[in-house]
Amino acid sequence: MLSVKVRTLFVGFLTAYLVVLVSLDVLSIRTGRSGGALINGDAKGYYAWLRSIALDHDVDFRNDYALIYPPEPPPPIPELTPRGLVPDKYPIGVAIVELPGFVVGHLTAKVLGFPANGVTTPYQIAVTLWLQLVCLGSLLSLWAAMVRVGAREDIAALGIASALLATNLIQYVAKPAWAHGPGLAVLCLAYYLLVTARDTGAGRRMLAIGALLGLALIIRPSNVALAPFFLVAVLDRRAHWRADLARIAAGALPMIALHVASFWALWGSVRLSGYAGEGFTAGWSGIVHTLFAARHGLFVYHVWYALALVACVAALTNPVTRRLAMGTLLSFVLMACINGTWWCWWFGDSFGNRAFIELIPALVVTVVLWLSHLAPTMQRRAVRGFVGATVVLACVNLLLWTGYVLRRFPPDGTHSVAQAYLWPAFRSRPGS
């Protein structure tokens, strides 16, 4: 009875969450600043790959930028590629995830008489709704995976709900065409496939896991930081882990080859990154800033991450969760180093520090399994504390998110902490 009740409530929560997102999509189309576009900002750079290849059958983004970006300014183009093409610095991975939504949008545009040019309203709605379904569906699969490995169903549901309500994930499921929602989704699905793998047919399953992890890499190469978490998960779950790791690597190779091929077509040479002239130049100070600065510092605006890391440290004391906690903490350290040393450690226009969102599945799994394996008396106290913290942090997060969406403080982080948290006290955006 408990199983059915928790599952029903959790699915109901995700459904209600989706309904709210769709309502916000409709409101954004009617009143938004982007001319009715749901795909905006950096998401347009990722989407340009799909539009150009599917409709123009090339990788010259000159006309794509002219169609996709207005009323936003197009990205600066310092120089053409050696092949004389307008470059796109973003990798192709997000476009792969967007493909089913694009096909639906294309067919809908033709049926309803909209221009079938890749940018009209049917494309915007279909791609966005598809990605929202993928994100929320993947979180449902993460819940099922955690229950499979021994988590309490209610605690697993609470862990995922806390991430959706109390972190910056809310913005990047609402606007899922940025890389973070799709990246989180494929990582959740990879973990689900790993947990549910059986000995029979395991070879094909490991290849599929490798393909998903390879896709995560070509969505955002910094997702390589999740390697310690998944390595520990494989060691914990699989007896023949050496063979499984080899199959996972083999499954990832086609995705990596596709990434290399896309940049070869654009640049005419082997390139692993399109970020020409950008690099890891921020040093140790950037690592400190990406976590603690007023400009999108991770722990400053989203305390959930800090509390989850504290719980991961506590999970080191439990033999059931010790190795998984070590993998998660090492993944966090690697991600902090990658994000912090990047020259733009604040990651431009961002709700909080968006570059850590892909770490959420690892944090949730570790925290939920640790809470699920506590002694009953301690567990009750810990869960009550987790619920209380979630409620408080969710309220704070919704306050910050409302200010961010309404642009009551600068989205690029050039504001003080007080201006972000106390934005209702200002009659208008500070400095305007």
Q: Which string of DSSP letters, residue by residue, matches 168-203?
A: THHHHHHSTTSSHHHHHHHHHHHHHHHHT--STTHH
Dist. CA 67–CA 12, nearest whole Å: 38
What's the confidence (pLDDT) of residue 432?
Answer: 47
Helix locations, 220-359, DSSP H: 227-237, 241-267, 283-292, 298-301, 303-315, 322-341
Dist. CA 400–CA 23, nearest whole Å: 20
The residue type of 265 is A
The residue type of 172 is Y
What's the confidence (pLDDT) of residue 1?
Answer: 43
- Non-local CB neighbours of 336 within 8 Å, separated by 6+ positions: 287, 290, 291
- Owner of token pair 């955006």: 429
Q: What angle do CA 255, 261, 264 make, to 5 degrees?
A: 150
The residue type of 382 is A
pLDDT digits (tens, 9 = 90+) for 137-166: 999 999 999 999 999 999 999 999 999 999
Using a cut of 0.85, tell me whether the model's pTM lies above it.
yes
Residue 70: which H helix or E strand, with range?
Answer: none
Two tokens, residue 342 = 């990047």
* 120 C-beta neighbours (distance < 10 Å), count: 19
- Owner of token pair 């990596």: 256
The residue type of 159 is G
Residue 76 has what DSSP assignment?
P
Q: Which bin fits 268, alpha (ψ -120 to 50), beta or left (φ > 0)?
A: left
pLDDT digits (tens, 9 = 90+) for 187-220: 999 999 999 988 666 889 999 999 999 999 999 9
Distance separating the N- and C-terminal Cα atoms of the chain: 56
What's the confidence (pLDDT) of residue 430?
Answer: 52
Phi, psi of 410 (to 5 degrees): -60, 130
- Owner of token pair 């989203």: 302
What's the confidence (pLDDT) of residue 428?
Answer: 61
Tens of pLDDT along the chain (432 residues) come to 456 789 999 999 999 999 999 999 999 888 766 667 899 999 999 999 999 999 999 999 999 999 999 888 888 877 889 999 998 999 999 999 999 999 999 999 999 999 999 999 999 999 999 999 999 999 999 999 999 999 999 999 999 999 999 999 999 999 999 999 999 999 999 999 999 988 666 889 999 999 999 999 999 999 999 999 999 999 998 888 899 999 999 999 999 999 999 999 999 998 888 887 789 999 999 999 999 999 999 999 999 999 999 999 999 999 999 999 999 999 999 999 999 999 999 999 999 999 999 999 999 999 999 999 998 989 999 999 999 999 999 999 999 999 999 999 999 999 999 999 999 998 665 544
What b/e string do you get for 185-216 counting C-beta neighbours within 10 Å, with b at 16 or more? bbbbbbbbbbbebeeeebeebbbbbbbbbbbb
